[in-house]
Amino acid sequence: MISFNNDFLGYHSLEHIESFSGSDTKELYQKNLEIQPEDWYYRINQISYVRNSNGHRCKEIEDIDLDNYILFTGCSHTEGIGLKLEDTFPYVVSKNFNCDYYNLGIGGAGIDMLVYNLITWFSVISKKPKFVVVQWPEQSRFISSNIEDMPTEELVTCGPWVKDMNVKNILAAGNMTGFFQVRRLMAFKLLHNAVSCPIIEDSDGSSKFHDNMFPLYIGDTARDMVHGGVDTNIKHAEAISKIANKKLSDK
């Protein structure tokens, strides 16, 4: 569940310390313990999801070196669902640059959540990051209230994975009319108008990494068997670091 925490959107306080999250379920893990080979990485490498008071999987803002940090945002790929914190590409990139980082990534996040948190960040944090890494979620995701009659402080994310036929029809109509594409374009322009430091991003709003910038490696998966695994995240980090170095040198 998503809620407002200190004006940021993030995981609800009940989900700030978890052993499993999203597609990385306990049931799937137990099943894989029975069918995966003995040297399966996740037999001995345990995962925990520890989120700060904003509901984000990183240190508290006051513990970040705001004179030397990178800002990340995106959905589950960026949060690192199915991965140890040390295996996520935001963690690896920050090590490559010998600096701190803050991770706004939230599993299941849509473009509206992404833009809201980024604008909030630059509104309340005066010191800019070295650069921002934006992994655009699938463009038809959105956030909604968890009750029908009125909005609350507690929200849930919704998107194309919802199986209700009415939702499917709405999504199909939205894609046909260009509704979601326009939302993404507006978000893209707003982000570039509001952020005055280098931005590194994927190119089409897909939830999958692509175009050689975020290469996927077949067979290398996280514990949930869906997201990219350790080697994939290392390659992500290498690609991001290469692009970032070029952008920083061109400044």
pLDDT at 146: 61
pLDDT at 204: 38
pLDDT at 207: 37
Domain boundaries, the chain: 2-250
Distance separating alpha carbons of residues 27 and 102, to the nearest angstrom: 30
Distance separating alpha carbons of residues 183 and 104, to the nearest angstrom: 20
Cβ contacts of 32 within 8 Å, gap of 6 or more: 40, 42, 223, 225
pLDDT at 143: 82
pTM score, whole prediction: 0.88
Strand 69-73 to strand 132-134: parallel, antiparallel, or no bridges (unpaired)?
parallel
Beta strands in 34-139 (DSSP E): 49-50, 69-73, 100-103, 132-134
The CATH code belonging to domain 2-250 is 3.40.50
What would the pLDDT profile of 56-114 be if each residue is shown by its tens digit? 999 999 999 999 999 999 999 999 999 999 999 999 999 999 999 999 999 989 899 99
pLDDT at 51: 98
Owner of token pair 């030397």: 68
Distance separating alpha carbons of residues 145 and 149, to the nearest angstrom: 9
What would the pLDDT profile of 187-219 be if each residue is shown by its tens digit? 888 988 988 899 998 743 333 444 444 556 667
pLDDT at 69: 98
Helix (H) or strand (E) holding 199: strand 199-201
Distance separating alpha carbons of residues 94 and 71, to the nearest angstrom: 10
What would the pLDDT profile of 9-44 be if each residue is shown by its tens digit? 999 999 999 999 999 999 999 999 999 999 999 999
